[in-house]
Amino acid sequence: MAEPFDPTSHPHRRVNPLTGEHVIVAPHRSKRPWLGQTEPIPTAMLLEYDPACYLCPGNTRAGGLLNDKYENTMVFENDFAAVLPPPGPTAPPAPHPLLTTEPVSGGCDVICFHPRHDLTLPRLPLPDIERIIDTWCTVYKKRGSQEGIEHVQIFENKGAMMGCSNPHPHGQAWSTSKVPHIPATELESLRKYASSTPPSDAPRGPLGRSCLLCDYVHFEVTLAGNEGRVVVQNDHFVAVVPWWAIWPFEILLLPYKRHIPSILHLTPEEKTSFARILSQVTIRYDNLFSCSFAYSMGIHQRPIPATSDTIPEDEDEENIAHLHLHFSPPLLRSATVRKFLAGFELMSEPQRDLTPEDAAQRLRSLSDVHYLAQ
């Protein structure tokens, strides 16, 4: 007789309801002996101020401009922006129906989190993190109200492993005339779910309709319990290793008590909780392998703020978006051993050995105090 199915040891597939993508979970593989190399943990400490850094206060940037002697955050237009302001040239006729082009315009901003070259998010006090959130709000509002901008993507790319060449704590915002592929796919999933799923006990989106993320996070917080995928939870926000995670220590961070479409909808208390959980998550990340943990983080929310105030918040269909952050970190076993998406994963679908439940348990067990402060 076949063994009963056990998701903690038997291979299985999970699906990401936001994107429709699948992942193979192969927990039995994590029991195999690890033959890869283990490397020493890098211990290089950064300077508080680096005269060669183009993001430090008062220094000259790559494009030749001088930085302000800023004291909190600083925003400037990327000197090498990927998209340029409208109108831009019109697209040429397609040489073949399969070879289409469409114009895209917009702007790219760099957001320095703090004047100190060495203070990454997990090492900043909460008031400084709240100032970063305020700066994200300012950029989102300003860019989102510009003519022709349809989406503002705020993100942070941290660590040389993720291709970030400058350790000075900073993020970016790319604002574009089109909603990019991943947020567009997720928004479409939220819309489909709202129109096809009867409301549950969870909070709801606009027009009292079901929200995929309200329903998911309600399950994780109230039903799955501590044996589940919750890493850390506070008064308004929760961080989980999502059921469908691909990266070993991937995190989905979101508000769980009510449906919140964007960072502009946060109350002062919710903003404080948001700052606190950003600190709690990134400290745990650094503590996991005692290193400055690399990741890509992105904020998904309403593509741009409302441009008219004639539609009540609760009836505005665009408020179907549910504010959430994705953290995609590459590290797997130590400060230097990373996961690559290659072979079967690149050609067919992603696969993971560590279950999301085990990853959550490991992150949950770590201290809230940064290892450099212990």
Q: Burial, 299: exposed, middle or buried (Cβ in 10 Å; 0-12, 13-18, 19+)?
A: buried
Q: Is 56 in the site for Zn ion (CB under 5 A)?
A: yes
Residue 187 CB, nearest approach to Zn ion (Å): 9
One of 83, 129, 152, 211 touching Zn ion (CB under 5 A):
211
Helix and strand numbers, DSSP H then E, in the chain: 6, 12
Q: Give the torsion sign (CA, 20, 24, 27, 31).
A: negative
User: Residue type for 64, please?
Assistant: G
Residue 169 CB, nearest approach to Zn ion (Å): 8
User: Which window, 28-36, 52-60, 74-82, 276-284, contacts Zn ion (CB under 5 A)?
Assistant: 52-60
Q: Is 117 in the site for Zn ion (CB under 5 A)?
A: yes
Q: Is 214 in the site for Zn ion (CB under 5 A)?
A: yes
Contact, 251 vs 240, CB < 8 A?
yes
Residue 57 CB, nearest approach to Zn ion (Å): 8
Distance CA 25, CA 242 (A): 13
**Residue recorded with tokens 């969870």:** 202
Q: Is 250 in the site for Zn ion (CB under 5 A)?
A: no
Q: Is 322 in the site for Zn ion (CB under 5 A)?
A: yes
Q: Of the two residues 210 and 351, which places its CB atom closer to Zn ion in the complex?
A: 210
One of 158, 218, 229, 259 touching Zn ion (CB under 5 A):
259
Q: Is 53 in the site for Zn ion (CB under 5 A)?
A: yes
Q: Of the two residues 55 and 231, which places its CB atom closer to Zn ion in the complex?
A: 55
Single out the catalytic residue among 114, 151, 168, 170.
170
**Residue recorded with tokens 């961070």:** 253
Q: Burial, 369: exposed, middle or buried (Cβ in 10 Å; 0-12, 13-18, 19+)?
A: exposed
| Number of chain residues interacting with Zn ion (CB under 5 A) | 13
Q: Is 320 in the site for Zn ion (CB under 5 A)?
A: no
| Order of strands across the sheet that contains 151-158 | 74-77, 106-112, 170-176, 151-158, 295-300, 324-328, 251-255, 237-240, 230-233
- Give the x/- contact pattern for Zn ion in 135-174, rule: CB under 5 A: ---------------------------------x------
- Give the x/- contact pattern for Zn ion in 185-204, rule: CB under 5 A: -x------------------
Instruction: Name the DSSP letter for residue 187.
Output: H
Q: Of the two residues 168 and 236, which places its CB atom closer to Zn ion in the complex?
A: 168
Q: Is 121 in the site for Zn ion (CB under 5 A)?
A: no
**Residue recorded with tokens 């703090």:** 114
Distance CA 148, CA 104 (A): 10
| 170 labelled catalytic | yes
User: Which window, 45-53, 61-69, 284-292, 361-369, contacts Zn ion (CB under 5 A)?
Assistant: 45-53
Please, which of residues 284-303 interact with Zn ion by CB under 5 A?
A: 300
- The crossing angle, in degrees rounded to 10, of helices 268-289 and 126-144 is 120
Tokens of 79: 């000197």
Residue 173 CB, nearest approach to Zn ion (Å): 16
Residue 58 CB, nearest approach to Zn ion (Å): 10
Q: Of the two residues 182 and 337, which places its CB atom closer to Zn ion in the complex?
A: 182
Q: Of the two residues 53 and 224, which places its CB atom closer to Zn ion in the complex?
A: 53
Helices (H), 152-290: 181-196, 212-218, 268-289
Residue 369 CB, nearest approach to Zn ion (Å): 25
Q: Of the two residues 186 and 286, which places its CB atom closer to Zn ion in the complex?
A: 186
Q: Of the two residues 143 and 322, which places its CB atom closer to Zn ion in the complex?
A: 322
What count of Cα atoms within 13 Å lies in the side-chain half-sphere of residue 343? 4
User: Residue 336, Cβ neighbours under 10 Å: how many?
Assistant: 16
Distance CA 101, CA 119 (A): 42
Binding region for Zn ion (CB under 5 A) = 50, 53, 55-56, 117, 168, 186, 211, 213-214, 259, 300, 322
Catalytic amino acids?
A: 170
